[in-house]
Amino acid sequence: MSFNLTDDNRCAANDTLCIVTQYQQAVIIVPTLLLLSTFVTLLALLLTKYCPERKQARTAPQPRYQGSQHRRTHRQSRRDHLQGIDAPPGINPLEHEELPMSVQQVHQNVKPTLAAVPAVATRGPHGAFSHVTALPMSFSVNPDEKVNICRARMDNRDVVLRRLKETANISEKQQFLGFASFVSGLGTHPFLPALLGVVSVQTPLVMVMEEMQHRDLLSFLWRCRQVNTGAAEQCEITEKRIFNMAGKVASALDYLHIQRCVHGNVAARSVLIGGDMTAKLWGLSSAYHRRAQIGSQGDGENVEMKKWKAPEVLSRRGDSESSDVWSFGILLYEMVTLGDPPFAELLSTELLQHLQRGKHLKKPATCSNSLYSIIRSCCQWNPQQRLSMNELIRKLQAGEDSANGRTVLRVPEPINIERYLREAGYGETLNYAIL
């Protein structure tokens, strides 16, 4: 092999230094640049893979938490404000902040539309409340040791305060706030008592309700039994007024059913009467216990309310919308008799067998055929044969249009409490006081 000295090849065949110098760009520099670029590329890939994720995790964790998970984290960070218990969903535990009193569903984050009650001091009626006075229970066999009922003034209106005693334990506080959250989540309806606010930051825990002047319907009916009551005009219970009040209760019950809430406690003791004779449905403790799955809806109440319960409930098949319709029929019976107990001639233990034989409520002497027909249609043995809520409301409206509005119902004899308890099947643990 031989080399010639030309412009492209000036080196002799045996001149190694000249050859290396001539080809150093191709032999040394280019491979070095390629190796360096490969290293830089690998380093960039490693940085892209690991470093941005760590930075994002440090600076922007918020989008990873949505819905109830974020709210749980938020409440955990404010746990020092909750005085040992965690507020349930729908109740804002922070002091001086508004509470969502008109939330349709508790788990939704909806802005409040009603002003809340600011937290008050532990001792004495400070701040929003004035003229606080104890409100005696209209009827009670065994008073509730956990809740005090008071009348007060707030924002120039009469309210009722349901105050949990400061000696309540953590479980009782959780249930109290849970019930407030449950009522809040039901939303507002013209024939459900309005929940105006909740004091949830410090003891005593308080639910603030609108005041219904005449309180529960059962006691009101008892006051109207005699002619000389001192409030003759307000106590003039006619059949037309019964249809009117019953229609309002039915409207509230239908609203609860739309909210997928079975009431389970429809009775005269669970209806509140305002100064303008507006009837509103209350007594929601059974519905709350059922939804919260606390115990068995209140064992004492289940035992003591047998004469208001539908046959399927007596046979332990559970409450339903149809069983509420049955109890509504019993409510109509209470109204037209001015507070008589249903099935007074029977013991509670005899009732289911009595109904299995095809027996039913007897027609009261003061009851018209049209009203008694509705009672019978509500209290059918077969749930499928009972009136639907739409049919019930329609019949009540038609009944009001044609009912007698002149003849006042009277029962000359006053109520005998001991006899009532015996005939209604109540035991010593009963306390039906609503507010």
Q: Are residues 136 and 240 in the same domain?
A: no
Residues 112-133 have pLDDT tens digits of 333 333 333 333 333 467 677 6
Q: pLDDT band at residue 31, thresholds of 50, 70 and 90?
A: confident
Residue 158's Cβ-count burial label (10 Å; 0-12, 13-18, 19+) is: middle
Q: Which of 184, 210, 236 is the last residue of a domain?
A: 210
Q: Which residues of 7-23 are buried (b: 16+ CB within 10 A; e: fewer)?
A: eeeebeeeeeeebeeee
Q: Which residues contact 159 (CB under 8 A, 6 or more apart)?
A: 129, 151, 152, 153, 196, 208, 209, 210, 211
Residue 320 or 40, more confident? 320
Cα separation, 124 vs 118, in Å, equals 14
Note whether 170 and 289 are same-domain residues.
no
- Let me know whether 410 and 389 are in one domain: yes
315 is a domain residue: yes
Lowest-pLDDT choice from 112-121, 139-148, 368-377: 112-121
Four-CA torsion 399, 400, 403, 406, nearest 10 degrees? 170
Task: Report the pLDDT value the prediction gives residue 294, as an integer from 0 to 100.
Answer: 62
Q: Among the three residues 179, 194, 210, which one is the final residue of a domain in this structure?
A: 210
The answer to whether residue 262 sits within a structural domain is yes
Which two three-digit tokens encode residue 2?
Answer: 């031989």
Q: Which domain covers residue 178, as residue numbers?
A: 83-210
Query: Count of domains in the chain?
Result: 2
CATH number for position 375: 1.10.510.10
Stated as kind and residue range, the H or E segment containing 402 is helix 389-402
Q: For residue 325, give the 3-state DSSP assignment.
A: helix
Q: Is 380 helix (H, G, I), strand (E, B) or coil?
A: coil
Do 204 and 308 lie in one domain? The reply is: no
Over 90: is that where the pLDDT of 340 sits? yes
Rounded CA separation 224/216 (Å): 13
Peptide bond into 204 cis (omega under 30): yes
Q: Are residues 269 and 202 in the same domain?
A: no
**Residue 157, beta-bridge partner list:** 154
Band of pLDDT at residue 427, cut at 50, 70 and 90: low
Indicate which CATH number applies to the domain containing 118.
Answer: 3.30.200.20
Claim to verify: residue 225 and residue 182 sit in the same structural domain: no
Q: Are 329 and 375 in contact (CB under 8 A)?
A: yes
User: Per the structure block, which two tokens stand in for 229?
Assistant: 């009551």
pLDDT on residue 73: 42
Find, among 268, 356, 250, the residue nearest to 305 by Cα.
268
